[in-house]
C-alpha cells in the first residue's frame, strides 16, 4: 500500500518521466497483473509520445505471457530497431535481455539446444537479470529438464522476491517434481502478495495443499484447511463454471476432505448440466482415474464416440478405461480411430505415445517395434524421445537405445541432464564390466547431483550405479535412495528398492520405518501390493503382512483371498485361514488352486485325511499329469512314501514332457538312497529338457549324495550358478574342505573363508548354513551358535537360522535358551509348525514340563504316526510323552501296526523305553517282547531290561535280561560280540566285575575294534584299582576309534585320576563337558578332580554350575547328584579348613 502511494505521488510530481512509469509497470508485473502492465504502457505511450526501452521490455514480457504473439513480435522488432539509438544502446544487460526475449519468441521454430545457448550467453553477460533466469526455466520445463527449470525459477525468485510469476513457476516446478512440501512453502509466501484479480496464486496454493494431503504431509490446521479449500473452490466454480482446472481441483478437494459422495455428486451434476463441454468432461475423467473415484465410464459415455475421436486426451481416457477392463484390443482401437481423425501433429504424437505405452503395459510382442516407430516418427519431439528412454523395454535393444540417445543429444545438447543420465544408464546396462567406463558414468552422475542435488532421476541412477560392478557399495546406494524418498515421499516405486536394500544390509529397524511409510503412501496401490507383502514377510512381521493383505485384498479376487489365507497361516491365525478356505470352497466355481491350498492347510494342521479328500476333489480338467504329480507331492509330504512314489511314477509316465514330475520322483528316490534309479530318471528327462535347471541340480546333488565324482557334480552346480557369485563362493569353499570318512575337517583358513563369505554375501542363506556347519565340524560350537544367532537377525522371516540356534544350544546344554529359539522357529513357521513344535515338546520334557509337552504334540498325533516309518524321531517323542503322562496304552494302540511289521521300529521302541519311568518302560518292553524274533533286536531288548533292573535294583529283571540274551545263538561274529557285550553289562549290574571283565575281553577277542568293550573294561579295571595302566591303554584305543566321545573321555579321566595324573584328567573332563555340557555327573567328576588337584577356587566355581543344573533337574537321578554334591561340598570345606590351619 505504501509503495502504491509513493508511486502515485511520483507520477504527479514527475508526469513526463519514464522511470516513474517503468517502476509502476514493474510493480504490476511483479504482482502478475499483466493487464495492468499493458494499461500503464499504453498510458505512458499516450502521455510521453514514445516508450522507453524499459517500458517496451515490460510491454513485450506482458504480451508474451498473455500469448499475444503477433503484438509481441511487433513490439520486439520495434525495441530491436530503437535499441541502436536509445540511451541504453550501450547497456550490455539491455542487449542480453533483448536477445533472450527474441530467443523465447522464436523458440517454437528453433532447436532447444540453440535457444538454451542464447539464454546461457545472456546470463554470462547479465547474471543477475531475473527475466533471463525465468526464460531459461521456462525453456528447461518445456525440454523436460525439471530440476534445471526449478533451479532457474528459484534463482529468478531469489533475485526478485516480489515477482509473483517467478514464484508461481517455482512452485509449479516443485509440484511436478513431487516436492509438495517445498511447493507449499513457496505458494504460501506468494499468495498474500498476489493481485486479487489473479487466480493463479490462489490455485497454486490449493494445488500445493492438496498435494501435501495426498503425500501424507501434515499442514497446520489440516482438517479445517481442507474444508476451507473445498469452500473456496465451490465459490470459484460458481463464478467460473466450466473451468476445467477449478472443477478438477474441487473433486480432489472433496476427496482429500473425505467427502467421496460429494465428489461423485458434483461430477454427476457437471455431467447433467454441462454435457456438451468436452474439455471439461475429459479433465474430470482424467481426475477420476487418477484419484480412483470410479466415474470414468459415466463420463466417457456422455462424451460419445465423436467427441472422443476429436479429442486426443478424451481418447486416451477411453483407452485407459478399456485397458483397465482387460480389453487391450478395444483400448488400441480407440487410439487408432482417434489417430486417424487427428488434425494436428501434437494430437497424433500424444496418441502414438499412448498406444506405445498400452503395448508396453501388456507386454505385447509389438511393443519394441512401437518404440522404434515412436522415435522414427517423432525424431524432433523431446516428449516422444524422453518417453521412449524411460521405458525398460527400450534398453533391451542396445541399437534402439543408442538411436534414442543420439536424438536426445541432438535436441538438448551433450550437457543436458537427461543426456548425461541417459549416457550413464547406457554404460550401466551394456558396459558395467568395464571398470573405467563405469567410473566415468559414476563421475557423470555425481556431476549431475552437484548441479541438481535433488534430481530424482540422478539419485535413483546413483543408487543403481553404486550396486553395479565388482566393487558395489550398498551403503552409498541406500543413502541415495533414502535421500530420494525424503525428497519425494509420494514416489511409491522408491520404497521397495530402498526397503529391499536395507533388509539385505540387515538394517531391519530402518526398513520397518519405511515399510510403515510405504503402507501410508501406497494406500491400495496394486502396483506395489505383492512387493509390500513380500517385504513384510522378509521383515518377519507376519501380523502386519496379514493386516495389510486384509486392507488390499479384493473380496471377489480368488488370488487375493488365497494370499490372505496364506498370510493368516504365517501369522498363526488358523481360524481366520480356515474360514477363508471354507468360504472359497463354498463359492463355485472352485478352482484347482483353492482345492490344493485348502488341502495343504488341513494336512498341516493334522487333518491329513481331510486334505487328501479335498485334493482328490480338485478337477484338474485335462491335466492328468498335474493331478498325479499333485497327489504324489501330497503323499510325499503328509502320507505314505510308497504311495507317493506310485503317484509320481504315474505322473512321469503320463507327462514325460513335464519336468516337474521327473524332478520330484528323482529327489524322492535319492532320499531313500536309490541313487542309480534317481540318476536314470533325471537323465531320461534331461534328454527332453537339457537346460532344465532343477533337473541338472538334482543330478548334481544326487551324485554328491551317492559319493560319486564330487568335482563333476560341483562343476555342474557351478555352471548352473555362473552368475551368482555367492553360490560360486560357497561351492569353491565346499570343494576345498578336507574330508575323512565322510566328515569335514576344516582348517583355520577355511573357517576364516567361511566368515568372509557371510560378510560378503550377508543375504545368501546357504552361505550362512555352510559357515555354521563348518564351525560345528571344527568343534567350535559357541562360534557356530554365534553365526546362527547373527543369521536369525539377518533373516527375520526365515525359520532355518532359529532351528540352527536351537540345535546348537541343545548341544551346548543351554536348554532354556534352546526352548526360546525353538519358540522363535515356531513363530517363523506358523504355516507348518510341526517340526518346531516337536522340538519344543522335546525341550519341555527335558525341563520336566511333561503336561505342556503332551499338549504341544497332541494336535499332530495322527500326522506323526502316519509319518513314523520315514520320520521316527517325532513318533518316539510322542511315545515318551504318552508314557510320562501315564498313557502307555495309547502309545501301544497308535504304534502297534508299526511294531508288528517293522523290526527297525521295534528297536526304536525299545530304545525309547529307556527314557521313561520304570512302570511305563516295563509295559513297553512287555508289549514288544513277544513280537521280537530278530536276534539283533533281542540283544537290544535284553539291554533295555538290564537298564530297568539296574535302575530299580531288581535281580529278577536282571535274570529276565540274561535269559533273553542267552537265547541268542548265532554264528555271526558281530552279533555274537553284541550279545556277549550285553552279558558283560548284566554282570556289571550284578556287581560281578570279574565275570564282566572276562566277558569284555571275550568281546574284544571277537571284535578287537569294539570301542564300547574297551571303555567298559577300563571302568571295571579302575574300580578294581589294580590295572590302571592297562585301563589307560584301553581308553586310548577306544578314543582312537571314536575321537572326542564324551563317555570315553570321562572314563579316561577316571583312569588318569587312578594314576594320579590330575591335570590330564581335568583336561579330559573339560573336553568331555564341551561335547556334553548338560551332563551333571561329568561336572561332578570335574569338581572331584579339581579337589584332587588342590584347585579349590576352580572347584568352587564348577560346583556352583553343577548346583544350578541339579536344582533345575526334575529326573530321579537328580537325587543321587544332590547327595554326591553334598559330599563334595563337605570335602571342599574340610580342604579349605586344612589349608587355613
Neighbours of 712 (CB within 10 A): 13
Distances (CA, A) of 920 to 637, 882, 883, 892: 32, 9, 6, 11
Nearest CA to 992 out of 946, 1034, 952, 1036 is that of 946
Q: Per residue, what are the HEC states of 167-185?
A: HHHHHHHHHHHCCHHHHHH
Residue 419 is assigned to a structural domain of this protein: no
CB burial of residue 1029 (10 Å; 0-12, 13-18, 19+): exposed
Last residue of a domain, one of 858, 886, 918: 918
Which grid cell sits at 134? 525465468
> How many structural domains is the chain composed of?
2
pLDDT at residue 1 greater than cutoff 60: no
| Cα gap 1029→451, rounded to integer Å | 85
> Three-state SS for 215?
helix
- Would you say residue 95 has pLDDT above 60? yes
Residue 744 three-state SS: strand
The residue assigned the cell 586344612 is: 1138
Last residue of a domain, one of 889, 918, 947: 918
**Range of the structural domain that residue 838 is part of:** 832-918
* H or E element at residue 523: none
Which pLDDT tens digit goes with each residue over 893-938? Answer: 988 988 898 888 899 899 888 888 889 999 999 999 999 888 999 9
**Cell for 619?**
478337477
With residue 708 as reference, give the H or E element that holds it: none
Q: CA-to-CA distance for 390 and 1, rounded, in angstroms?
A: 50
| 138 is a domain residue | no
Q: What is the pLDDT of residues 239-287, one digit of tens each?
A: 888 899 999 999 999 998 889 999 999 999 999 999 889 999 999 999 9
> 297 exposed, middle or buried (CB, 10 Å; 0-12, 13-18, 19+)?
middle
- pLDDT at residue 493 tops 50: yes
**Residues 1042 and 1015 sit within 8 Å (Cβ to Cβ):** no
What is the pLDDT averaged over residues 207-234? 77
**Residue 52 to residue 86: CA distance in whole angstroms:** 8
Q: What is the DSSP string of 424-454?
A: HHHHHHH-TT-HHHHHHHHHHHHHHHHH-TT
Residue 549 — very low, low, confident or very high, per pLDDT cuts 50/70/90? confident
Spatial separation of the C-alpha atoms in residues 502 and 485, rounded to whole Å: 13
643-657, 1069-1083, 1116-1130: which range is least confident on average? Answer: 1116-1130
Task: Establish if 867 belongs to a structural domain.
Answer: yes
Cell of 422: 541417459
DSSP H helices, 831-917, are 834-846, 850-857, 861-866, 872-884, 888-901, 903-913
Identify whether 589 is preceded by a cis peptide bond (ω within 30 of 0): yes
User: Could you tell me the three cell numbers for 1062?
Assistant: 590330575
Nearest to 813 by CA among 1082, 631, 581: 1082
DSSP string of 443-504? HHHHHHHHH-TT-HHHHHHHHHHHTSSTT--HHHHHHHHHHHHHH-TT-TTHHHHHHHHHHH
Question: Which of 30-39, 244-253, 390-399 bottoms out in mean pLDDT, i.e. has the lowest?
Answer: 30-39
The grid cell for 556 is 471377489
Lowest mean pLDDT across 436-440, 594-598, 717-721, 762-766: 717-721
Least confident segment among 244-253, 275-284, 551-560, 1058-1067: 551-560
Closest of 1105, 1100, 1109 to residue 1128, by C-alpha: 1100
Q: Nearest-5° angle of CA 476, CA 479, CA 484?
A: 130
Q: Is residue 740 within a helix (H) or strand (E), and if so which, with residue range?
A: strand 738-740
Per-residue pLDDT at 88 exceeds 60: no
| H or E element that contains 739 | strand 738-740
- Residue 762 confidence (pLDDT) above 80: yes
The answer to whether 873 and 857 have CB atoms below 8 angstroms apart is no
DSSP output for 66-115:
TT-HHHHHHHHHHHHHHHTTSTTTT-HHHHHHHHHHHHHHTGGGS-HHHH
pLDDT band at 525 (very low <50, low <70, confident <90, very high): low
For residues 215-234, give the mean pLDDT: 73
Q: For 779, phi and psi rounded to 5 degrees?
A: 80, 10
* Nine cell digits for residue 1019: 571302568
Q: The C-alpha cell of 857 is what?
A: 504334540
DSSP 776-839: HHTT-HHHHHHHHHHHHHH-TT-HHHHHHHHHHHHHTT-HHHHHHHHHHHHHTTTTS-HHHHHH
What separation in angstroms does the CA of 850 have from each of 232, 269, 807, 1111?
A: 72, 72, 20, 17
CA separation, residue 634 to residues 611, 614, 657, 867, 868 (Å): 9, 11, 21, 12, 16
* Residue 875 forms part of a structural domain: yes
Q: What is the pLDDT of residue 350?
A: 93
Reported as a pLDDT band with limits 50, 70 and 90, residue 4 is low
Q: Are the C-beta atoms of 807 and 785 separated by less than 8 Å? A: no
Q: Report if residue 1128 sits inside a domain.
A: yes
Contact 152, 141 (CB under 8 A): no
pLDDT for residue 89: 44
Of 1026 and 616, the structure prediction assigns the larger pLDDT to 616
Let me know: does 925 contact 941? Beta carbons within 8 Å: yes
User: For cell 528447461, what's the residue?
Assistant: 140
Over residues 386-401, the mean pLDDT reads 90
Distance CA 563, CA 558 (A): 9
Q: What share of the chain is helix, strand, coil (3-state, %, to 5)?
A: 80, 0, 20
Please enumerate in sequence order all residues whose Cβ is within 8 A of that of 1117, keeping only pairs 6 or more positions apart, or say none. 1080
- Is the Cβ–Cβ distance between 826 and 838 less than 8 Å? no
> 1141 in a domain, yes or no?
yes
Whose cell is 541504453? That residue is 88
Contact 33, 103 (CB under 8 A): no
Q: Which of 8-12, 487-491, 728-732, 1062-1066 has the lowest mean pLDDT?
A: 8-12
What pLDDT is stored for residue 707 in this prediction?
Answer: 53
Q: What tens digit of pLDDT does each residue of 942-981 get? A: 999 999 998 888 999 999 999 999 988 888 888 999 999 9
- CB burial of 87-123 (b: ≥16 within 10 Å; e: otherwise) equals ebeeeebbbbbbbbbbbbbebeeeebbebbebbeebb
Would you say 385 and 371 are in contact if contact means Cβ atoms under 8 Å apart?
A: no
Residue 525 in domain? no
Question: Which of 890, 918, 946 is the C-terminal boundary of a domain?
Answer: 918
Radius of gyration of the chain (CA): 42
Q: How far is Cα 350 from Cα 55, in angstroms, rounded to an integer?
A: 40
Q: Is the dihedral of CA 368, 369, 374, 375 positive or negative?
A: positive
The reported pLDDT for the residue numbered 584 is: 94
- pLDDT value of position 819: 94
Q: pTM value?
A: 0.65
What pLDDT is attached to residue 669?
A: 86
For the chain, the average pLDDT equals 86
Any domain includes 984: no
Q: Mean pLDDT, to the nearest integer, of 881-898?
A: 90
The torsion angles phi and psi of 738, rounded to 5 degrees, stand at -70, 140
| Pairing mode of beta strands 738-740, 743-745 | antiparallel
Amino acid at each position: 500500500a505504501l509503495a502504491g502511494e509513493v508511486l502515485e505521488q511520483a507520477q504527479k510530481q514527475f508526469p513526463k518521466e519514464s522511470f516513474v512509469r517503468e517502476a509502476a509497470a514493474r510493480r504490476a508485473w511483479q504482482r502478475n497483473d499483466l493487464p495492468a502492465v499493458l494499461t500503464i504502457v499504453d498510458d505512458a505511450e499516450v502521455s510521453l509520445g514514445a516508450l522507453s526501452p524499459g517500458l517496451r521490455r515490460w510491454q513485450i514480457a506482458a504480451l508474451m505471457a498473455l500469448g499475444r504473439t503477433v503484438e509481441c513480435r511487433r513490439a520486439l522488432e520495434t525495441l530491436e530497431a530503437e535499441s541502436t539509438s536509445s540511451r541504453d544502446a550501450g547497456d550490455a544487460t539491455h542487449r542480453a535481455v533483448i536477445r533472450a526475449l527474441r530467443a523465447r519468441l522464436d523458440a517454437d521454430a528453433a532447436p532447444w539446444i540453440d535457444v538454451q545457448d542464447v539464454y546461457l550467453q545472456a546470463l554470462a553477460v547479465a547474471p543477475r537479470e531475473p527475466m533471463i533466469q525465468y526464460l531459461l526455466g521456462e525453456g528447461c520445463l518445456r525440454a523436460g529438464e525439471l530440476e534445471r527449470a526449478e533451479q532457474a525459477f528459484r534463482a529468478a525468485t531469489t533475485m526478485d522476491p516480489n515477482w509473483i510469476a517467478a514464484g508461481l513457476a517455482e512452485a509449479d516446478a516443485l509440484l511436478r517434481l513431487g516436492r509438495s512440501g517445498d511447493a507449499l512453502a513457496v505458494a504460501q509466501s506468494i499468495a498474500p502478495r498476489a493481485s486479487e484479480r489473479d487466480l493463479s496464486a490462489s490455485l497454486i496454493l490449493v494445488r500445493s495443499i492438496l498435494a501435501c494431503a495426498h503425500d501424507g504431509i501434515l499442514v497446520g490446521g489440516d482438517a479445517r484447511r481442507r474444508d476451507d479449500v473445498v469452500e473456496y473452490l465451490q465459490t470459484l466454480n460458481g463464478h467460473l463454471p466450466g473451468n476445467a482446472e477449478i472443477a478438477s481441483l474441487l473433486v480432489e478437494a472433496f476427496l482429500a476432505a473425505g467427502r467421496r459422495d460429494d465428489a461423485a455428486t458434483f461430477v454427476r451434476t457437471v455431467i447433467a448440466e454441462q454435457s456438451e463441454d468436452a474439455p471439461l468432461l475429459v479433465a474430470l475423467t482424467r481426475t477420476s482415474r487418477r484419484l480412483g473415484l470410479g466415474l470414468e465410464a459415466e463420463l466417457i459415455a456422455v462424451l460419445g464416440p465423436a467427441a472422443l475421436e476429436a479429442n486426443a486426451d478424451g481418447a486416451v481416457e477411453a483407452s485407459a478405461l478399456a485397458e483397465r477392463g482387460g480389453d487391450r484390443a478395444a483400448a488400441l482401437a480407440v487410439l487408432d480411430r482417434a489417430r486417424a481423425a487427428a488434425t494436428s501433429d501434437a494430437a497424433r504424437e500424444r496418441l502414438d505415445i499412448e498406444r506405445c505405452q498400452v503395448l508396453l503395459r501388456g507386454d505385447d510382442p509389438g511393443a519394441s517395434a512401437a518404440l522404434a516407430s515412436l522415435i522414427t516418427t517423432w525424431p524432433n519431439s523431446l516428449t516422444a524421445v524422453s518417453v521412449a528412454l524411460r521405458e525398460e523395454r527400450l534398453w533391451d535393444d542396445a541399437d534402439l537405445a543408442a538411436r534414442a540417445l543420439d536424438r536426445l543429444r541432438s535436441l538438448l545438447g551433450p550437457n543436458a541432464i537427461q543426456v548425461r543420465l541417459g549416457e550413464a544408464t547406457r554404460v550401466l546396462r551394456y558396459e558395467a564390466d568395464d571398470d573405467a567406463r563405469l567410473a566415468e558414468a559414476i563421475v557423470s552422475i555425481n556431476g549431475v547431483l552437484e548441479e541438481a542435488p535433488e534430481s530424482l532421476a540422478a539419485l535413483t541412477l546413483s543408487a543403481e550405479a553404486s550396486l553395479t560392478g565388482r566393487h558395489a557399495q550398498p551403503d552409498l546406494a541406500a543413502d541415495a535412495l533414502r535421500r530420494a524418498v525424503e525428497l519425494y515421499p509420494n514416489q511409491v516405486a522408491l520404497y521397495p528398492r530402498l526397503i529391499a536394500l536395507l533388509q539385505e544390509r540387515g538394517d531391519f529397524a530402518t526398513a520397518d520405518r519405511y515399510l510403515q511409510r510405504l503402507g501410508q503412501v501406497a494406500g491400495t496401490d496394486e502396483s506395489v501390493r505383492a512387493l509390500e507383502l513380500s517385504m513384510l514377510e522378509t521383515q518377519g512381521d507376519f501380523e502386519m503382512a496379514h493386516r495389510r493383505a486384509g486392507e488390499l485384498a479384493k473380496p471377489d479376487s480368488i488370488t487375493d483371498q488365497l494370499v490372505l489365507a496364506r498370510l493368516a497361516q504365517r501369522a498363526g491365525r488358523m481360524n481366520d485361514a480356515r474360514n477363508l478356505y471354507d468360504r472359497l470352497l463354498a463359492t463355485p466355481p472352485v478352482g484347482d488352486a483353492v482345492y490344493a491350498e485348502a488341502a495343504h492347510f488341513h494336512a498341516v494342521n493334522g487333518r491329513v485325511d481331510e486334505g487328501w479328500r479335498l485334493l482328490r476333489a480338485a478337477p484338474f480338467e485335462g491335466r492328468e499329469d498335474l493331478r498325479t504329480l499333485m497327489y504324489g507331492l501330497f503323499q510325499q509330504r503328509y502320507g505314505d512314501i510308497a504311495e507317493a512314489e506310485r503317484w509320481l511314477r504315474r505322473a512321469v509316465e503320463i507327462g514325460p514332457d513335464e519336468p516337474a514330475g521327473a524332478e520330484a520322483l528323482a529327489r524322492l528316490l535319492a532320499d531313500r538312497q536309490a541313487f542309480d534309479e534317481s540318476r536314470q530318471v533325471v537323465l531320461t528327462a534331461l534328454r527332453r529338457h537339457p537346460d532344465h535347471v532343477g533337473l541338472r541340480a538334482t543330478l548334481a546333488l544326487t551324485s554328491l549324495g551317492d559319493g560319486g565324482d564330487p568335482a563333476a557334480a560341483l562343476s555342474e552346480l557351478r555352471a548352473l550358478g555362473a552368475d551368482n557369485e555367492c553360490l560360486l563362493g560357497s561351492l569353491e569353499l565346499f570343494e576345498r574342505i578336507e574330508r575323512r570318512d565322510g566328515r569335514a575337517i576344516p582348517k583355520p583358513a577355511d573357517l576364516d573363508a567361511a566368515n568372509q563369505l557371510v560378510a560378503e554375501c550377508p543375504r545368501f542363506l546357504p552361505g550362512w548354513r555352510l559357515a555354521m556347519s563348518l564351525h560345528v565340524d571344527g568343534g567350535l560350537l559357541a562360534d557356530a551358535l554365534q553365526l546362527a544367532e547373527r543369521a536369525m537377525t539377518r533373516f527375520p522371516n526365515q525359520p532355518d537360522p532359529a532351528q540352527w540356534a536351537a540345535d546348537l544350544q541343545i548341544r551346548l546344554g543351554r536348554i532354556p535358551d534352546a526352548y526360546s529359539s525353538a519358540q522363535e522357529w515356531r513363530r517363523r513357521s506358523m504355516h507348518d509348525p510341526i517340526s518346531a513344535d516337536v522340538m519344543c515338546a522335546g525341550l519341555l520334557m527335558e525341563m520336566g514340563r511333561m503336561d505342556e509337552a503332551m499338549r504341544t504334540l497332541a494336535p499332530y498325533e495322527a500326522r506323526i504316526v502316519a509319518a513314523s516309518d520315514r520320520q521316527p524321531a517325532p513318533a518316539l517323542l510322542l511315545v515318551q510323552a504318552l508314557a510320562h503322562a501315564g498313557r502307555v496304552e495309547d502309545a501301544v494302540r497308535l504304534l502297534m501296526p508299526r511294531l508288528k511289521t517293522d523290526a527297525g521300529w521295534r528297536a526304536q521302541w525299545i530304545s525309547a523305553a529307556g527314557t521313561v519311568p520304570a512302570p511305563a518302560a516295563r509295559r513297553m518292553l512287555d508289549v514288544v517282547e513277544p513280537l521280537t524274533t530278530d536276534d539283533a533286536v533281542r540283544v537290544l531288548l535284553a539291554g533295555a531290561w538290564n537298564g530297568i533292573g539296574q535302575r530299580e535294583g531288581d535281580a529278577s529283571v536282571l535274570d529276565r535280561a540274561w535269559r533273553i540274551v542267552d537265547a541268542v545263538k548265532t554264528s555271526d561274529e558281530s552279533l555274537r560280540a553284541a550279545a556277549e557285550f550285553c552279558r558283560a553289562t548284566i554282570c556289571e549290574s550284578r556287581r560281578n566285575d570279574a565275570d564282566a571283565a572276562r566277558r569284555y575281553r571275550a568281546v574284544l577277542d571277537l571284535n578287537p575294534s569294539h570301542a564300547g568293550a574297551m571303555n567298559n573294561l577300563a571302568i571295571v579295571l579302575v574300580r578294581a584299582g589294580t590295572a590302571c595302566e592297562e585301563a589307560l591303554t584301553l581308553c586310548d584305543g577306544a578314543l582312537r576309534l571314536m575321537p572326542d566321545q564324551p563317555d570315553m573321555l570321562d572314563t579316561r579321566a577316571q583312569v588318569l585320576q587312578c594314576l594320579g595324573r590330575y591335570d590330564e584328567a581335568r583336561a579330559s573332563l573339560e573336553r568331555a563337558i564341551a561335547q556334553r555340557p548338560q551332563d551333571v555327573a561329568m561336572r561332578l567328576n570335574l569338581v572331584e578332580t579339581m579337589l584332587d588337584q588342590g584347585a579349590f577356587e576352580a572347584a568352587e566355581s564348577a560346583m556352583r554350575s553343577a548346583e544350578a543344573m541339579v536344582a533345575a533337574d526334575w529326573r530321579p537321578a537328580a537325587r543321587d547328584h544332590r547327595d554326591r554334591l553334598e559330599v563334595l561340598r563337605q570335602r571342599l570345606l574340610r580342604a579349605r579348613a586344612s589349608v587355613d590351619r
